[in-house]
Structures are given as structure tokens and as C-alpha cells.
Amino acid sequence: MKGERVTVRQIVKHYGPVTAVDNVTVDVKAGEFLSLLGSSGSGKTTLLMMIAGFEMPTAGAIQIGTNDVTYIAPNKRNVGMVFQKYALFPHMSVRDNVAFPLRMRKMDRAQIDRRVEEVLAMVQLESFGDRAPAQLSGGQQQRVALARALVFEPPVLLMDEPLGALDKKLREQLQLEIKSLQQRLGVTVIYVTHDQEEALTMSDRVAVMSHGQVAQIGSPFSLYSEPASAFVADFIGKMNFLSAQYLGKAQSGLQVRLTESSTVSITRSLNGHIPELSPGLPVKAAIRPENISLSPRGQGGPNAIPGIVDTSIYLGTHNVMLVNVEGRRDLSLHIQVPVGQDIPFFARGDAVDILLQNDAIYLFPSKGDWQ
């Protein structure tokens, strides 16, 4: 099985006056695992349905391999499809469900039997062939749906929230199994999810969608470490946003005022987020919980911000803390503090110094639309 390239060019989809997908261009490499990540209404499932052929685009083009499939029927596209609700035939056995696509392609009986057994073994269901779907757990039914989608060796596999109905532990297990299977087979996967952790775990690249457009596309690492907008920064992982005022450049870095008495130097580049900054402009400073540390009040040094611990929750390897910034009633920070012998424990009401890692602070325009 060999994956094929999928090219989406300037795809638009209108439903009456509503634009569900707005001029999207995505190039999925052969054998790549790409996730379409976004909240409800972002356009991710509509885009997937157009690639599958269940929806026709208003404008644009879709190519699989060297073939333009924009207006070709779904059954002529040679793609596998896995849905959240399994879509298994309840009156057929597991074996017959998996064999169905091969029978539709009029393969001979011996080939069908051999291929079905191979794929059932691949998804660890070789001893379940005679059972009905109703006799299987949710995870087993999803494995059957995956086997049926793979049995005819499609070069492209489309998956629409396939693990959404499963419990957390089983979902995490199947994430790793699907990724391992995809790497072994080399099939191209386009995977729709609203779960950012799932997308980061499974994908080679992730396309973050918002309002029918791709807000940013990149590797999980690049999306997390270099978000192109405040929206992406907020959607991928956890992020603290601090309304601030830009003061200008100094030898120690970019100066940002958080409170009347607290100024922070930022040593990272702006990475194109704000091309030109004038002193006095309002900005949003953003920092992830793991890039903030705490020390007892008075021991934090010149960049320390005074705060009071509001909440501390023990989660085994780390404490999740909510710390209020003194002088800013509107500002509290979520902080992730590792548990260790050399790390002091802080309880509710403790006066602390908040230390922001200077090279881990992002600056974004202070806009209401969070772009």
C-alpha cells in the first residue's frame, strides 16, 4: 500500500449565504498524516467531505495523485473512509463487513478471504470474524470500520472524528495504534478532530481551521512553539494572555509593562507577529504555564512580578496553580510547577514572586478578534 498526494486548491463551499469553507489551499504529501483541527463550525468536516466526494465545492479543485477528482463520484475516488459512528452493517458478520468493499470490486473468493484475514490480523481482530457488530465493544467496532476502509488498499484514508465516541483511555490507545498502522502501511491520512491533544499526538502536520479558513499549518512542534496568531496560541495547548503596554526596545530586550510597578523584558524575536511597534501601544503578552516559575516573595530578582497564590492542585508529577497578580484585579496566571525536592511548595494565600521566562513570551496585537 502506497500513499498518494492530495492537493486542495482554493476550495470554496457556500451553503446559501453561509461560507463554510473559504478559499482553502492545502497540499498533503504522499504518506503524510495531516489533521484538520478546529472547533465546531470551523469548516474541517465540510472540507473532508469535499475531498471524499460527498459534498461538491462551489469553487476550486481537488487532486488525488495525478487525477483531478473535484467532481468525481465518491466511489470512483479510491479513498477509504472511517466515520465516528462506525457505519457497520448490523446484519453482517465482522468478516462480511470487511469483505464488502472487495465484493463490490468483484474480486474472486480466494483473494477476498485471504485479504480479509490479513486485515483482521492487522487490527488484532483475527478471532472475531464470525461475530456480529453488536457483540463487539465500541473500540472493536471502530477497528472493524478501520479494517473495512483499509482492505482494498486505498492510497488515501479519510477519518472524521473516528474516536470521538470512545472513552479517554481507549481513545488514547487507538490513537497510537492508528498512527503505528499508518506508518507501517504508508497510506496518506487526512484526519478530522476537534481534540488538539489528539491532533498533536498523531499528526505529521496539523492544519488549524477557523471560520472556514486555515489559520496556520505546520508540525505539532512548530504550532506549539511558534503560533502565528493569538487564536492559534490559545487553541493549541494552554496559554496565559496578559494585557500589557509596549514601552520600547532596550539593551535587555523589548520592554512591556504589566502593572504600574512591573515591567518585563522580552528577549525573543517577534517572529512576524507585530512587524512595527510604537511605544505606548497596547499588546497581548502570552506565555505557557510551564514557562512560569515561582519563588518566595522578595527572592525573585528584578523581573519578578508580585502575586498571591489563589489555588494549588496536586496532579502527581506537577502542581497546577492559579496565581493572582498584585495590582491587577483582572489578571490571574495558570502555572504548571513540577514536583521535586528542590522546588518549594506554595499554598493558597502565600505571597510569591512570579518569574516569566523571558525567551518564552509572545507578543500579539491587542485586538478583540484575537487574530
- What is the number of other CB atoms lying within 10 angstroms of the CB of residue 61? 15
Q: What is the pLDDT of residue 367?
A: 65
Cα separation of 7 and 30, whole Å?
A: 10
Q: pLDDT grade, residue 1 (50/70/90)?
A: low
CA 289 to chain centre: 19
The pLDDT mean for the chain works out to 89
Half-sphere exposure of 166 (CA within 13 A, CB side): 23
Percentage with pLDDT > 90 across the chain: 59
Q: pLDDT grade, residue 64 (50/70/90)?
A: very high
Range with lowest mean pLDDT among 3-17, 97-111, 192-206, 270-284: 270-284
Sheet (strand 67-68) strand order: 18-28, 6-15, 59-64, 67-68
Domains with residue ranges and CATH for the chain = 6-234 (3.40.50.300), 238-365 (2.40.50.140)
Q: What is the pLDDT of residue 57?
A: 97
* Residues near 336 by beta carbon (within 8 Å), at least 6 away in sequence: 238, 289, 290, 292, 318, 319, 320, 321
Assess whether pLDDT exceeds 70 at residue 352.
yes
Q: What is the pLDDT of residue 360?
A: 87
pLDDT tens per residue across span 256-280: 888 777 888 887 655 544 546 778 8
Q: Identify the residue with better confidence: 288 or 316.
A: 288
Cα separation of 80 and 75, whole Å?
A: 10
Question: What average pLDDT does the segment 330-334 reach?
Answer: 87
Assess whether pLDDT exceeds 60 at residue 317.
yes
Q: pLDDT grade, residue 359 (50/70/90)?
A: confident
**341 — alpha (psi -120 to 50), left (phi > 0) or beta?**
alpha
Asked if 37 and 189 touch (Cβ cutoff 8 Å), the reply is: no
* Residues near 290 by beta carbon (within 8 Å), at least 6 away in sequence: 336
Q: What is the pLDDT of residue 371?
A: 44
Range with lowest mean pLDDT among 262-266, 303-307, 341-345: 341-345
pLDDT tens per residue across span 234-261: 999 899 998 889 888 877 778 888 877 7
Question: What average pLDDT does the segment 176-204 reach?
Answer: 93
Q: What is the sign of the dihedral through the CA atoms of 55, 56, 58 and 61? A: positive
Q: What is the pLDDT of residue 211?
A: 95
Assess whether pLDDT exceeds 50 at residue 300.
yes
Assess whether pLDDT exceeds 70 at residue 109.
yes
